[in-house]
Amino acid sequence: MNSSLPNIRHLSTEDLTAYFEQIGEKKFRLQQVQEWLWQKHAHSFEAMSNLSKELRTKLSTDFSLPALKVDATQFSSDGTIKTRFKTYDNHLIEGVLIPTEDRKTACVSSQIGCSLSCKFCATGYMDRKRNLTFDEIVDQVVLINKQSEETYQKKLSNIVFMGMGEPLLNYNNVLKAIERISAEDGLFMSARRITVSTAGVAKQIKKLGDDGVRFKLALSLHAANDAKRNEIMPINETNSIKVLIDALNYFYKKTGNEITLEYILFKNLNDSPKDAEELTKIYRQVPADLINIIEYNSIDAFKFTKPEEEDVQQFMNILANNKVNARLRRSRGKDIDAACGQLANKG
């Protein structure tokens, strides 16, 4: 594939209309091609079977159509499926299908690698190579949806941007991907079934509010005071908890969208009764619907382990006594390194 040619999926409707006029094609060709690109998800011009051979040849001469390819697939004993995708320029990213009785959730990546270096996340130890384009993000959803239909005979019900990379540092592509995923002439999935998770880029959280987005927001908090959060999440040094609380309140005031807090428990770091009380204080200052308390999944580079079961229960009990809406989330796909924080292209 000649990647120096313009990517046809990056052209606006106006650009494509002008192109078809210029080559003397009828107006309805535009609709046919867009249908192939965004509804039938053709990954080659050759696949566009209701176009003449001449037009398909002309399109492949003038444009490129780079698309993600499935590179490897792993199946967990709990039904989770992890897929390693290959980009047109030979980078690897991972996405996960997480099935439950009533939901089929795609966990997708937004960057190749990550620049934030969160200590507990395997992706954080990889260099950030580049942002994913909006069409590459859409491809992940399309391919995972296909897996869901083939394996579970159900379409995806939810999408979470909790894979590799920081979504808010790839702001425009993530928003454009969500626009395409929720478009009537796309996957037509409600934006309210999509959650974007951030390590806490306060400026961009406020921008989401200004842009009036309709999807849900999750903040990866993981520590309830700045000293501890600085230790495991370097981003906290420039985006402190107080700054994030202000940003979340701003986002909620502008959108009214659901906010969740994510909190991974680490033994002897953030799992004490005092930590639970500090977390309660943060919860009271943020319009959060829920705190997801997450089981830690070990990675080779990080020295912490998960707490004892009784310590987890004690932590949950303190939150319950403080009337905090918290849910303990057991990890899925651990046996194939597909669980929270484990995505690192080990494959």
- The burial of 102, by beta-carbon neighbours within 10 Å (0-12 exposed, 13-18 middle, 19 or more buried), is given as exposed
| C-beta neighbour count of 301 within 10 angstroms | 12
Which DSSP string do the residues of 29-61 spell out, in sequence order? HHHHHHHHHHTS--SSSTT-TTS-HHHHHHHHH
Please, are residues 243 and 284 in contact by the beta-carbon 8 Å criterion? no
233 DSSP assignment: -
Q: Within 13 Å, how many C-alpha atoms sit on residue 134's CB side?
A: 19
**Could you tell me how many residues make up the chain?**
347
- H-helix segments, the chain: 13-22, 28-38, 53-62, 134-152, 171-182, 202-210, 226-232, 241-255, 273-285, 309-321
- Which amino acid is located at 61 in the chain? T
Query: Can you read off the two tokens belonging to residue 55?
Result: 């037009």
Catalytic residue list contains 107: no
Bridge partners, 70 (sequence order)? 85
Q: Which of 107, 114, 121, 340 is catalytic?
A: 340
64 DSSP assignment: B
Which DSSP string do the residues of 120-160 spell out, in sequence order? T-GGGGSPP-EEPPHHHHHHHHHHHHHHHHHHHS----EEE
Give the C-alpha separation, 19 to 12, whole Å. Answer: 11
Token pair 């969740």 is at which residue? Answer: 260
| C-beta neighbour count of 103 within 10 angstroms | 12
Backbone angles phi, psi at 11, to 5 degrees: -85, 140
Q: Which of 94, 136, 166, 262 is catalytic?
A: 94
Catalytic residue list contains 121: no
Enzyme catalytic residues: 94, 340
